[in-house]
Amino acid sequence: MTERYAVRPDREGFSVVDLWTGSVAEIAAIPQERLSAADAGHMAKVMNARVRREEPPMVLRLTPRSAPRS
């Protein structure tokens, strides 16, 4: 199976690119660009693994903080 996400150099580091669309990949609406080579490689690996498992896209779920306990 051909990988969907790949690491490509950009002007300020590395980006994770969606090879199907040619666009920079996003996680929780955050473009995966200007990353270190190691971070971009890790994110591409994680995103490709999710595609292989047919998992839904990654989203950020925010939960309210609990009040401090006294």
Q: What is the pLDDT of residues 3-48, one digit of tens each?
A: 999 999 999 999 999 999 999 999 888 999 999 999 999 999 999 9
Residue 49 clears pLDDT 70, i.e. is over it: yes
From the number of C-beta atoms within 10 Å of its C-beta (0-12, 13-18, 19+), residue 9 rates as exposed
Tokens 């890790």 belong to 42
pLDDT attached to residue 67: 54
**What does the pLDDT read at residue 43?**
95
Question: Domain-by-domain residue ranges, the chain?
Answer: 5-52
Side chain identity at 31, as an amino acid letter?
A: P
Q: What pLDDT score was predicted for residue 53? A: 83
